[in-house]
Structure 1
């Protein structure tokens, strides 16, 4: 049992410290896939003209941005498959730990599973090192995990935001393992409409009330233009006043 725990800890260290690592041999990160040697070729075969696939168009609007007092995270609450609305009460903001939040855009199952898995890895890291993990390290772990499954058909667009010893930080991570740091992100089918509001009105020197109103307006307008977005507007505020 001790050996297994030590091996898992070593793999977590590799995920954090080696951003260029492409082949991480870790059984704990594997899930069941079709018994195909090269999944990418199988997907191309399945998408040929001789096969009819169900093509469910996903839809959502998520956003996050920094301002002088912290970070605002805002999402809609609709889950849809094409024209079918599955739910209007989905929670698309996931608590990774007490200091880090993640948003969901893409496949709900993919985002929910991997963000919760990230939370478990972070908990092991923090118990071992007796310190809070940084937002950058958390995003690196998630990026390396998703990179291993590039071409397997995952669909994720995740905004990780939070507070650590360096201050407020925010990263975008997608299903190909891409990781981007920035001050403003929007993801999902309604992101184009959200960006139109954000780009016109965003200013880093906003106060808390102005930042909340801007995030609300961006999601609100996206729900009117994008059929895949709707339901309620849900927001979280990381600020100097509520850390």
Structure 2
């Protein structure tokens, strides 16, 4: 795929921030992405119900953290290139291709972006896959990954409680508990918990309100 040259210097960073808790977890049937929904402008909560889970292409989604403007712009650019990839090649792009596009954009514009991305997806050949593209534009493949300001509070809990090849219900509970604790301790995280489940059966979206996760 040709190199992507995009000038993102015009984006204004730091005004609206997705101070956040995001994660993606592989399980035996696919992958689940999860995120809180709070968007902040400094200490002011600009939006309590932001959707930080963005569909990039069919069963490839991303979680966004950092500057809301930067991450949305990068996601839109990647979505465009994946649509072009399918049109030119007659097949859907893999999660790895999508993650590589995120990595190239974030690395080439690392001095102008505040964007941390988790790219996750499912296809029948590779199953569920998770890639993290942190600030600076490196790329890392994981069985699960967490990111955002709330992630520092749950690294230990996730490492202790993650199990490969969990069931869907176990994975939902794992994500709900991790994000509920991140929300509890991180002042920049809050709102509802949103999830996207990607499997052979299709795409399923879940939402948990505070009264459904505060005791998780």
Structure 2's unaligned 5+ residue stretches are 204-216
Task: State the TM-score, normalizing by the size of structure 1.
Answer: 0.76
- Structure having the larger proportion of residues in helix: 1
Q: Tell me the CA shift for residue 204 of structure 1.
A: 1.1
Q: How many residues align?
A: 200
Query: Residue 213 of structure 1 corresponds to which residue in structure 2?
Result: 173
1:130 correspondence with 2:107? no
Q: Tell me the CA shift for residue 241 of structure 1.
A: 3.9
Are the structure 2 counterparts of residues 225 and 94 from structure 1 closer, same or farther at C-alpha, using a change threshold of 3 Å?
Answer: same
Q: Tell me the CA shift for residue 14 of structure 1.
A: 2.3
Query: Residue 72 of structure 2 corresponds to which residue in structure 1?
Result: 112
Query: Residue 200 of structure 1 corresponds to which residue in structure 2?
Result: 160
Greater radius of gyration (CA): 1
CA RMSD of aligned residues (A): 2.1
Are the structure 2 counterparts of residues 62 and 179 from structure 1 closer, same or farther at C-alpha, using a change threshold of 3 Å?
Answer: same
Contact 2:17 2:68 in 1 (8 A): no
Q: Tell me the CA shift for residue 176 of structure 1.
A: 1.8
**Deviation by residue 1:66-90 (Cα, 9 ceiling, x = unmatched):** 1112111110000013321111010
Contact 1:59 1:81 in 2 (8 A): no
* Whole-Å separation in 2 of the counterparts to 1:103 and 1:60: 10
* SS of residue paired to 1:227: coil
Query: Residue 148 of structure 2 corresponds to which residue in structure 1?
Result: 188
Contact 1:147 1:176 in 2 (8 A): yes
Q: Tell me the CA shift for residue 56 of structure 1.
A: 8.1
1:169 correspondence with 2:157? no
Task: State the TM-score, normalizing by the size of structure 2.
Answer: 0.85
1:30 correspondence with 2:7? yes
